[in-house]
Amino acid sequence: MNPGLFLDFLANQAKLDRREFLDVVSKAGVAGAIATFGLLGRPQGASASPRRGGGRFTDDIFDYADPRNLSDWAPSRYGADDQRGSFNEVTREKTAHALRSVLDRGHPVKTYNLGELMWNGFPAFVTTPPRGYQQRMTLTGYPPPPGFLAGGGFLTSIPGLGSNQLSVHEERFPAVPGAPAGLTYQIGTQLDNLNHIGAGVFLYNGIRGPDILQAHGTAKLGSEHMGPIVTRGVLLDILGLKLARRDRDALGAPAPNGKPVLRSNYRITLEDIHDALEWAGIRRIEPGDAVLFRTGWNQLLQGRTPAGIARWSGAEGLPGIYVAEGHFLGQCRPALVASDTWALEVLGSPDNVPGTAFPVHQDLIMRYGVRIGESVVLDELAQDRAYECVYMVTPQFAEGATCGNTPPAALAQPRRRHDRDD
């Protein structure tokens, strides 16, 4: 028999991959490996699992702290500079195979939530200082219901913001019980939930805030109702489109790292959406899509310069869509609409109706039930011209929460540079 095939045969008998089996062979020799696993002559159907305490698998405690033992476990099999460990085994081929194994069967695909529901007082291993999960809700826009303040909720202001009476719920977390509440899901890459924004006392589906608001969250519309999604992602690369068309009016001063960005108060119009779809070769936005707008705005944070952070924060405005575009998108019924800015909608534009506060949030979330993603980083998808992708996100499974800030992921097939012309 070919020696390589023989080793593959032995590895298969030992229920190891070839590389793992060769590690055993390098230390114990072929004969030692055969003896360790009892490979040759094992009765048909016998377990390949080593007996407890048998062979090289024992209950002996290995001393990793002894420098003399360092060569037994470091450097890692993935290299001395590796920081990903066995994540390196998840190759593109591995992912493609996993997707094919599900999709090629021709049956409906189900998405599962594999997380624990996070509820107030969720228990944790006891440490000093203590771990703790105590969520508190902040309210802007209407008088709180009885027991809200006494239970630890925070009232910021009455009435709501702007002439459109924007009301806001957000959660805060004290570091430990009794500490100031400053942490929140409403930061960084995030997905705004349906209980986040309202108009006065009203929220999505006509639900009244005073009927569901509690000190820790809301009794309806909380993050526990979001669930994980895996859907089609549609990248609308507005920045790439404007660069390709040399539309200087749409571009602002470069980010501190020299990368291009849209102008600070550039309104992404209905025409821009149509042109970006056509440029990407996508016929239309379909129900259930994740619609992703790229402006380049995240580049302002690179280098963490004060000037870049000030621009990113909206000191001069933000690029984004406005009310007409929000209504168009809402009627397309996407699962979510997201961008790489922290607000999605344009700020500081001459088109902004004076005195109003975040009307696009109000329309998408309240009227259409469309969640809003913010600070989603889209540069690599744009670089690979992956205008369609598999978009995946598992929001926090947290009772009553107004947002999730677990970053989404995407699966796509990069296009080669000559696959299409700009």
Mean pLDDT of 344-367: 96
Q: Which of 90-94, 126-130, 182-186, 298-302 has the lowest mean pLDDT?
A: 126-130
Residue whose C-alpha is closest to residue 253's, from 267, 239, 263: 263
Total H helices, total E strands in the chain:
10, 13
Residue whose C-alpha is closest to residue 369's, from 327, 335, 324: 335
Cα distance between residue 233 and residue 292, in whole Å:
7
Query: What pLDDT, on a 0 to 100 scale, did the predictor assign at position 49?
Result: 45
Q: How far is CA 26 from CA 5, 33, 142, in A?
A: 17, 9, 71
Q: What are residue 310's phi and psi, to 5 degrees?
A: -65, -45
Tell me which DSSP letter residue 340 carries: S
The separation between CA 264 and the C-alpha centre of its own chain, rounded to angstroms, equals 25
Angle (deg, nearest 10), helices 270-280 and 323-332: 50
Q: What are residue 182's phi and psi, to 5 degrees?
A: -130, -20
Tokens of 328: 């168009």
Query: What pLDDT, on a 0 to 100 scale, did the predictor assign at position 111?
Result: 81
Query: What pLDDT, on a 0 to 100 scale, did the predictor assign at position 48?
Result: 41
- Reported in sequence order, the residue ranges of 268-420 that DSSP labels E, i.e. its strands, are 290-294, 336-339, 371-374, 388-393, 403-404, 409-411
Cα distance between residue 229 and residue 176, in whole Å:
32
Mean pLDDT of 273-298: 97
**Residue 22 pLDDT > 60:** yes
Q: How far is CA 400 from CA 118, 134, 363, in A?
A: 9, 12, 21
Mean pLDDT of 305-331: 95
pLDDT digits 0-9 by tens, 370-417 = 999 999 999 999 999 999 999 999 999 999 999 999 999 999 988 865
Query: What pLDDT, on a 0 to 100 scale, did the predictor assign at position 325?
Result: 97
Q: Which of 34-43, 129-138, 259-268 has the lowest mean pLDDT?
A: 34-43
Angle (deg, nearest 10), helices 18-37 and 3-13: 70
Query: What pLDDT, on a 0 to 100 scale, did the predictor assign at position 138?
Result: 95
144 or 134: whose pLDDT is higher?
Answer: 144
The H-assigned helical ranges of 43-179 are: 92-103
Query: What pLDDT, on a 0 to 100 scale, did the predictor assign at position 368?
Result: 95
What residues are paired with 339 via a beta bridge?
293
Query: What pLDDT, on a 0 to 100 scale, did the predictor assign at position 20?
Result: 59
Cα distance between residue 216 and residue 138, in whole Å:
9
Query: What pLDDT, on a 0 to 100 scale, did the predictor assign at position 133?
Result: 86
Mean pLDDT of 229-251: 97
**Residue 360 pLDDT > 60:** yes
Tell me which DSSP letter residue 164 carries: T
Task: Give the CA diameter of the chain.
Answer: 84
Q: Which of 334-338, 384-388, 416-420 has the lowest mean pLDDT?
A: 416-420
Confidence of residue 61 (pLDDT cuts 50, 70, 90): confident
Query: What pLDDT, on a 0 to 100 scale, did the predictor assign at position 51?
Result: 44
Question: What integer best gives the mean pLDDT of the chain?
Answer: 87
- Reported in sequence order, the residue ranges of 341-383 that DSSP labels E, i.e. its strands, are 371-374
pLDDT digits 0-9 by tens, 25-58 = 665 566 555 555 555 544 343 334 444 444 567 8
**Residue 24 pLDDT > 80:** no
Query: What pLDDT, on a 0 to 100 scale, did the predictor assign at position 421?
Result: 41
Cβ(388)–Cβ(281) below 8 Å: no
Cα distance between residue 137 and residue 160, in whole Å:
16
Query: What pLDDT, on a 0 to 100 scale, did the predictor assign at position 115?
Result: 81
**Residue 106 pLDDT > 80:** no
Helix (H, G, I), strand (E, B) or coil at 268: coil
Cα distance between residue 2 and residue 63, in whole Å:
39
Query: What pLDDT, on a 0 to 100 scale, did the predictor assign at position 98?
Result: 85
Query: What pLDDT, on a 0 to 100 scale, did the predictor assign at position 34?
Result: 59
Query: What pLDDT, on a 0 to 100 scale, did the predictor assign at position 394?
Result: 94
Query: What pLDDT, on a 0 to 100 scale, did the predictor assign at position 193?
Result: 95
**Residue 148 pLDDT > 80:** yes
Helix (H, G, I), strand (E, B) or coil at 336: strand
Query: What pLDDT, on a 0 to 100 scale, did the predictor assign at position 192?
Result: 96
pTM, full prediction = 0.81
182 or 133: whose pLDDT is higher?
Answer: 133
DSSP readout, 289-310? -EEEEE-SGGGGGTT--HHHHH
- Reported in sequence order, the residue ranges of 227-346 that DSSP labels E, i.e. its strands, are 229-237, 290-294, 336-339
Domains of the chain: 1-36 (no CATH), 136-212 (no CATH), 229-393 (3.50.30.50)
**Residue 366 pLDDT > 80:** yes
Strongest mean pLDDT among 12-16, 153-157, 237-241: 237-241
Cβ(402)–Cβ(169) below 8 Å: yes
Mean pLDDT of 196-208: 95
